[in-house]
Structures are given as structure tokens and as C-alpha cells.
Structure 1
């Protein structure tokens, strides 16, 4: 049997970003998948906080050179890669870079703790850039596992703007919901900025709640399954999980990698059974 392909898309990962629920979870999950005979690709933003020399990033010229349109503006996409060893397993981590969005020396907030005004643009750029990069790979993932609110548009894009793309036709999308006030990061014009490929603001209605952006809600609606990634979540996010009409896995910490593998298998077996 050929190895199952798992695409991990994350807004954070150790050792490239500081230790938080998302970064530590992804850091443990990725090598575990490889050790369990799964083929993986990890994609994340190349924040200005990441030291390229220390982590030995270098540009992948064959993947770079695309332009991603956000809010009617073109932004060049540069792809970089680093090799991350882990107990005999060597992982390739790909970084999406753009000087306008990721050059700054902070991740999602400025030096005063205020969310960046262009976080909506950065999210749309990153999510569309991920999909276009995987198309360049020519690598059809069996599982697409999205970690964090900055990846929340990927389920939507794949099920709408890219629904006829053969590379993703059999992909199962898993969204990990972590405790974060995603709406605090995103301006009210989110739906307009996130509209691509002839999509309209109305198409993004699932990402709005009571007139404000609700990224987790939209992601869950378009995903095939959801994982509760944080032990503690707020009332709104708990309600989203309780109302979800898709499989939900409640697992965190050291049990998460093994449980995720079994969760993937159940989703793929369910597809075969149809």
C-alpha cells in the first residue's frame, strides 16, 4: 500500500515560533506521521522573527515566482525550505514569504500588542498561496490538516474556488481549533478581502457571526472533520464544536499525534466505504 500523503498547514511551529498550543502540537505531530509511514509536507508563513541563517532556510526557485492577488493587488510569493531533523527523521518545512506581509519582526501583533490591520490580507494571501504551492508540487494530499485561524480559509477555498482542481478531489480536510480570539485579529472587511476567483462576499457568510468575522465557524462548515486542539476554549468555540455535524476529536498534549493518525485513518476508511 502506498504511503498516505498528509499536508500540514500551520500558522506556527516550533522551533520557528514560540511554544504555544499550535506550535508544540505541530512540532510533535509532523515527525510522528513520518515515523508511521506517512508522507508529509509542512507549510507555514516565513515571519520576520524567523532567523534564516540559524535555521538554514533557502529559496526554492522552482516554486517561487508566483503572484497572489489579494484585494485586487498582486503580491509576489517566495517559497523557502528548511530541513528539520528529529530523532533520525528529517522533515522538510516550506515557508511562504512576502516582503509586504511577513517582513516585520512580529507575528500577528505590533510592538504594542495591537493586531496588525492587514491580518485579513495576510490570511487570504497565505491560504491561497498554500493551495497554489501544492499545485506546483503536483502532490495530491489524502489529508489536509489546518492548524490555527490563519489557515481557516483553506477549507472554504478548496470547496469553492478550487472545487474542480483534480489534485484535491479526494482530499479530506481536518481543521484544528485552538483557543484564540480569531475575530480580534481580523478587520470587518474580511469577507471582501477574502473573496477570490469570482467568489462574492455573500459566499463567505459562514465566516461571519453577528456582523463580525468568525473564522473558526467558517472553517468548520467547510471541513470534513475538526480537532479540539486546546484544553480550554471559550464559550463560542465550545458551542461551535457542540453543533458541528462532522466528526470531532477532543485530544491534546502527548496523546494528540497518535490519536490524530487514527482519526485520519477513520476518515479515509469512511471515504472508501462510500
Structure 2
């Protein structure tokens, strides 16, 4: 199917967080599965020249945004089997930072309008519009407006993914017409209204055909005020179309075996290269070179909801252990200052790098021993996945995707350590357990590393789940896989089912009735030869009599049993006491005496083989009526 994936950042072109990693790897996996995928994002100033040189200009038009008609250009960059579309407008996107501007609402409203109008200029029909977070929250709403106006969007369905519900795109209600170009009815109907303001994420949740979150646990947590940030009621209203799908990881990009960005490559079965990576990390950040001391690492934005209040409060307790520690990231000034002071107080044991560096983060993942991630709330988290991929054991709080991905120590298949309460003492206690295992049980530590490194965090399963969502809301049937088409099982099923169709009927009847069933099959085959003699005349006389006493199903049987008119008159009286299952039998068994009842038991093993035998005996005179039961065994020999 055709999929248009819209995101405000996409790796490797521009990145500030986990959204870029998802937008860079999920579309690639969907394209590898055979879908026609296009990814659309703004053309920021921060996109490097090496990518700009590969772009080609497609077209431009004046985009309609309320009363404005700003210029909108589209550039394309082809990478493998994906088309990346860059929306160009220097007034909105030629800025040093991606987010944090006073007019972010207008900037991303323009981008959302560009997403909706681009398919018409491409003359390409997307089956799915997949948008992400508040920056593209207006896309499902605009789709409601334009679905019937733009024929390329007819039948298009929208999927909205919540990566972090804390950022909702909330603005004053005066923007509804002047900035967004929407009817005030969206406020009156409460699709966008939120305590008197406009809430773009709320509108997207209601307007989208399906809503996903980035982990199953996070989807459940959003029902509670602590995690939902005021939208718990909205989530409850839309639970029927919401689902948590765990994020995957680009295992080709994050692979210690290829040694990219590392001092030496290593694998789950050969960890010798990790020692070289550890030594290189200690040299790079100014830690004392000591291969026997575990390094605790943090790579994150230094903000409260990431749990750094717990780290700042317990920093002296942590450094009281025989450990080293390195912190990489930027954020709130109080946390940055706490880590600067710790570096001064513990020289050679604590390193604070208050910056963002992709190269240094890779070196930390590869060289550290323990990865600390005490988030208060974590929708999914990719850092713990990357750490496990590099054999760095995570210590995390049980929330969101951290709970879904880290199996606590002591459980079968364990990959790390976890704690549940938002408490610095609990965090320090679990860190102590991890440090103790590192020092006292080298073999157990190696098993933990091996489990973490070999766990499957690829996009294979998550992409399949997104496919299920796409097929469900569009109604497009999933194509049958070649492996299923070649399976021999369906071809063998008819022959297996052929016998059960006859067996249930025969098993319910007694032996005498089974014989009747055999004889009933024979007259049907004899219709053509039996028409030569007296059978037609008998049909006119006997069939009406039996139609009055028996059911309609017995009408064809008398045509073959007519040679015994007197015996048939009395026989039905004896047969009336039989169960309902024997109703069709009397017409054929009426001439047989009671002594013949055990004989049919011999005929039952070959119901189909006996069918032609009675055809040879039918011309016999009346006195020979009981004979067929005795002669049929001889004919078989």
C-alpha cells in the first residue's frame, strides 16, 4: 500500500530525540516489506550540505493557511526504496533551532497544510497518512476537511502516534480561525477545546482513524493523570482505537560487531573488544584508567521527568561505591550545575560532558558497564535498547517502555536491573546490586551481557503490528505470503474431510439403517437402467401412498422397492417405532424379515463398494427379495 509518513525530524537528516530514530528506521522497514513509502519533513537550516547536494527540486505552489498563501516548495531525495520529501519555506524553517520559537504553532500548521496538499501535486494516492506528535497533529484534522475536496485523498486513513504526551501543542483559542484556518465549530464540539485553549494533540486523537503509542505499558499509563498530563479523559474516550506498539531499533546502525565509532569491535560471544572500548572512553572523558572498576553512564536530556532529580540527590551515595561515572547531555541548569560540582569533587572518577555529541554517545554505549535511566515517565526509550545492544547493563525504573524491554535480574532471560518506586534510595540499592554482581560474579555478569546483546529489538515485529493497523483501518486485505501459497496443507484437506461427511450419519444409525443407506445409494445409480421395465408404472401407484405417510425425502425410494406391494403395507407399521434417524430406511427394509437384522453388520465396512451390487439383484422375482443381503459377500470375492 501507499504510505505517507510525516514527522518534524527524521534521522539521519536532522535529530534531537527518539522521534527522529523512529521516523528514520520504521519507514525503511515498511519499504523493505514491499510498501510504497514516502517520508515528508521540513527543510531545516540544520540539514547538512551533503544531503542538499542529493536533492532535486520537484515543484512549488502557494499553500493555503487561513488568509495566508505562503510559498511552499518540495525537494526530493531518493535513498534506496524511499522517497524523502523536504518542505521548503525559509521564513519558517531557516532557523538555528528546530523547536522553541514564538511562532511554532504557525510553523507547524504550515507544515501540516503542506503534508495534506502535497499528494495532489504528486498525483499520488496515499492509503495511509502516518503522523507523529503535536507538530503534525493538525494533519488528521485537515484530512477531515480535505478528504472529499482532493481526490488523491479519497479513502485515505490517518494514524497518529503519541511519542510523548507531555508536549501537546496548546495555544489560545484566538488562533483557531486566524492561524489554523478552521471553523469555530471545532471549539464548540470540543474536538480542540481544552480548558478554554486549543489543544492540537487532543484534536488529533479524536480526528485520527487510529492512535498508537510507542509501548504497550505507556498506552496503559496514559489512563492516569500522572502520565497523561490532563488528557486522561480524552484517552479514555478513544481507547477503542488506541494501541501500544513497542518501538524497534535500527540494529544495522547500532551494531558493535562492525566497530563503527568504537575503539574495537566485539560480539556477544567475544567481548574482548569491549575492554579496549572502555579504556578509550576513560581516556576520552578524563577518567582514571582502571579495567576493574565499573563505569556508570547517563546519556540523556537533563530534565526532571528523566529522573535526574534522583541522580542529583544520590550522587554522593553513588560515588561512595567503587565506581566511575560519566554524564552526557544538556538540560535544566540546576542539574548541569550539580554535575559540574561532582566532577570537581571527584576528579578522575566523575566526568560531566554538558553537550550533545553523537560520537561521544557511541563511545559511552560501547565502553560503559552500567547504564542508569531512572525516568519518572518514559514512553518507550531507545537509550536502554542501544545500551543492551552494546553489552552495557541497564538499571531503569519500571515505567513505560523501560518496563517492556528490560527483564529484571533473577528472572529467566534477565537483561538488567529495575526498581519501581520514584525513590533515590531504591535506585541506589539496585545500583549496589548491579555493582556487586560486577565485582563478585564475573560469570553471572557475562551471562547478563549475553542475554542483553542477543535479545531481538529489531523492527521486524513492530513493523508487522503497524501493518496490521494499516490493513485494519483501510480494509485492504493482507497479501498472502509466498510461503503460505506453496504450502501443501490446503490441497490435502478435501480428501481428509470427504469421509467425515458420511461417517457421522452412519455412526448414529443402527446396523439395519446402515444397510438401508447402502441400498438407497444403489437405486440412485440405477435410475437409467431401471427405467426399462415395470419401475415407472409402480412409481405412479406407490409413490403417492408413501408421500402421505412418510416425508418428502422418501419419495424416490419406492420406485425401486415396488416389486413387494403387500409386504410394504404391513412393514411401515413395524418401523414406526424406530428413532427419527431411521425415517428414510423403512421404504427399502420393509420386505426384509426380522431374521435378517444381523446380516447388515457384515455389509457396513464397505458402504460404497456395495452400492453397485444391489443393481444386479433388482430384476429378481418377488421371492428373492431377501437374497441380496446373502449374495453380496460372494460377489466381492
Do Structure 1 and Structure 2 share a fold, with TM-score over 0.5?
yes
Hey, what's the Cα distance between the residues in 2 that align with 1:158 and 1:54? 30
Equivalent residue, structure 2, for 1:112: none
List structure 1 segments (4+ residues) > 6 angstroms apart after TM superposition.
none
Question: Is residue 2:235 matched to residue 1:241?
Answer: yes
- Check 1:143–1:71 CA distance in 2 against 1; reply closer, same or farther (3 A cut): closer
Q: Identify the match of residue 123 of structure 2 among 122, 132, 138.
A: 138
Question: Is residue 2:200 matched to residue 1:200?
Answer: no
Q: Identify the match of residue 257 of structure 1 among 445, 459, 463.
A: 463
TM-score normalised over the length of structure 1: 0.83
TM-score normalised over the length of structure 2: 0.38
Q: Identify the match of residue 92 of structure 1 among 74, 83, 89.
A: 83
- Check 1:52–1:249 CA distance in 2 against 1; reply closer, same or farther (3 A cut): farther
Mapped contact 1:249–1:263 kept (Cα < 8 A): no
> Which blocks of at least 5 consecutive residues in structure 1 are unaligned?
110-115
Mapped contact 1:175–1:223 kept (Cα < 8 A): yes
Q: Identify the match of residue 76 of structure 1 among 68, 71, 76.
A: 71
| RMSD of equivalent CA atoms | 2.5
Rg comparison, structure with higher value: 2
Hey, what's the Cα distance between the residues in 2 that align with 1:67 and 1:191? 21
SS in 2 for 1:163: coil
Mapped contact 2:130–2:159 kept (Cα < 8 A): yes
Equivalent residue, structure 2, for 1:31: 28
Hey, what's the Cα distance between the residues in 2 that align with 1:270 and 1:240? 29
SS in 1 for 2:191: helix
Equivalent residue, structure 2, for 1:177: 162
Equivalent residue, structure 1, for 2:473: 267
Mapped contact 1:6–1:141 kept (Cα < 8 A): yes
For residue 270 of structure 1, report the CA deviation from its aligned partner: 7.6
- Give the number of the structure whose residues are more often strand, by fraction: 1
Hey, what's the Cα distance between the residues in 1 that align with 2:51 and 2:156? 35
Equivalent residue, structure 2, for 1:164: 149
Mapped contact 2:170–2:197 kept (Cα < 8 A): no
Encode CA deviations 1:191-216: one digit per residue, 9 max, x unaligned: 134443xx423335412200122211
SS in 1 for 2:38: strand
For residue 38 of structure 1, report the CA deviation from its aligned partner: 0.8
- Check 1:6–1:264 CA distance in 2 against 1; reply closer, same or farther (3 A cut): same
- Give the number of the structure whose residues are more often helix, by fraction: 2
- Check 1:69–1:180 CA distance in 2 against 1; reply closer, same or farther (3 A cut): same
SS in 1 for 2:39: strand
Say how many residue pairs are matched.
Answer: 255
- Check 1:118–1:22 CA distance in 2 against 1; reply closer, same or farther (3 A cut): same
Mapped contact 1:117–1:186 kept (Cα < 8 A): no
For residue 162 of structure 1, report the CA deviation from its aligned partner: 4.1
- Check 1:107–1:57 CA distance in 2 against 1; reply closer, same or farther (3 A cut): farther
Hey, what's the Cα distance between the residues in 2 that align with 1:245 and 1:251? 14
Mapped contact 2:169–2:201 kept (Cα < 8 A): no
Encode CA deviations 1:47-73: one digit per residue, 9 max, x unaligned: 111113345353424x22x11233523
Equivalent residue, structure 2, for 1:220: 205
Question: Is residue 2:10 matched to residue 1:13?
Answer: yes
Mapped contact 1:21–1:229 kept (Cα < 8 A): no
- Check 1:189–1:142 CA distance in 2 against 1; reply closer, same or farther (3 A cut): same
Encode CA deviations 1:166-206: one digit per residue, 9 max, x unaligned: 2212111111112143346645543134443xx42333541
> Which shifted more, 167-176 or 253-262?
253-262
Asked which structure has the greater RCO (Cα within 8 Å, sep 6+), the reply is 1
- Check 1:185–1:79 CA distance in 2 against 1; reply closer, same or farther (3 A cut): farther
For residue 161 of structure 1, report the CA deviation from its aligned partner: 4.1
